Amino acid sequence: MITTTNNDRYFFFLVSFSCVLSVAVVALGAFTRLTEAGLGCPDWPGCYGFFTVPQTALEQQAAATFFPQTPLEPQKAWNEMLHRYIAGSLGLFIAAINIMAWRKPSRPKLLPSLLLCMVVVQALLGMWTVTLVLMPAVVMAHLLGGFSIVSLLWLLRLQLQSPPSIITNIAAKPLRRLQIAAIISVIAVFFQIALGGWTAANYAALVCSQLPICEANWQQLFDAKAFLLVQPPHDSYQYGVLDYGQRVSIHVVHRIGAMITTVVVLTMAWLCWLQHSLRRYSFGLMLLLLVQIGLGVTNVVASLPLAVAVAHNVTGLGLLVMMVSVSYRVGVGSRRSRTIVQPLPQE
């Protein structure tokens, strides 16, 4: 376990700042997607052949000449480029984290290396999002990549903090059950986020406007082909290419997934409540879950308000990060407990 010393203070601050910046990237990514600015710039990494959004009359004329099929919309282009600028800055900070990590033997190496690989993959996904004209599988993967980077940065930050307090007074069997439940909870939340990404990427968020499931006869409309990651090629996937029944299928599965995830999170919160040292996580999980449910309901009844939809993405990220924290806590804290209580060798 690595503690934060004076020598590691700047490294810890760099990781912490990068973590905050990664959350901003996710929020801006959601904002870009929800404002239909994902193709605000039809090329990558520039915008209409320039390093920034074309502004002068000459630049705009050149943009119209080279990209006649995609007229320039300055506001959408700026939304897209702002997201790229901040995401690029995050990539540079993660590169700096790797340089600092490998300069000192005591600093962790695995997570920084994974983060650097994720940044490269995320950059490729960002490029393919544009070049493959919002192909749903790529859009969803891009969203999951952003969430993964935040989670890995947070996990690295946890490693750099002082060691967590020892988990005591928990028998081996209940502790093992708690660890398994934490892993299942992380998987459930991550899978539900993927369903949300698939719903957004296929423009299925507004096909059902009633609660709790859908006003449509979804049992008869259900089509498993809606979940095929490889869809037939299209000139553009913007605004969706699936039919009504397929979009209903996606939306309903996302809602059912939300119900299952709610049960999983509530169970994890209850298990944390039973352990005095984990009760603060129980409060955090309950708060985030209630906020997320409220935001999800508001998205349905108010037809996806922009601010609420972005907050729904960020709160889902918060739930994932909280679950990662719990998993780390019950894993590392219990290992320290077993290490410390080992009997001394007999003389």
State the pLDDT at residue 169. Answer: 59
CA–CA distance from 239 to each of 37, 134, 154, 307 (Å)?
12, 9, 34, 20
92 and 205 in a single domain? The answer is: no
pLDDT in tens, 173-214: 777 888 899 999 999 999 999 999 999 999 999 999 888 888
197 and 232 in a single domain? The answer is: yes
155 and 184 in a single domain? The answer is: no
7 and 154 in a single domain? The answer is: yes
pLDDT in tens, 64-78: 999 999 999 999 999
Query: How far is Cα 126 from Cα 65, in angstroms, rounded to an integer?
Result: 25
State the pLDDT at residue 330. Answer: 87
Per the residue annotation, which of 59, 80, 215, 347 is the catalytic one? 80
193 and 228 in a single domain? The answer is: yes
**What's the full length of the chain, in residues?**
347
Residue 73 annotated to the active site? no
Per-residue burial over 35-48, b if 16 or more Cβ lie within 10 Å, else e, is eebbbbbbbeeebb
**Residue ranges in 164-243 assigned as alpha helix (H):** 172-201, 218-221
pLDDT greater than 80 at residue 166: no
State the pLDDT at residue 277. Answer: 82
**What is the domain count for the chain?**
2
State the pLDDT at residue 3. Answer: 46
293 and 309 in a single domain? The answer is: yes
Q: What is the mean pLDDT of the chain?
A: 90
State the pLDDT at residue 276. Answer: 83
Domain hosting residue 277, numbered range: 167-346
Name the pTM for this structure: 0.91
191 and 133 in a single domain? The answer is: no
The position carrying tokens 């990590």 is 101
344 band by pLDDT with thresholds 50, 70 and 90: very low
158 and 175 in a single domain? The answer is: no
155 and 173 in a single domain? The answer is: no
pLDDT in tens, 312-340: 999 999 999 999 999 998 886 555 545 44
Say which DSSP state 72 is in: -
239 and 339 in a single domain? The answer is: yes
State the pLDDT at residue 175. Answer: 79
223 and 278 in a single domain? The answer is: yes
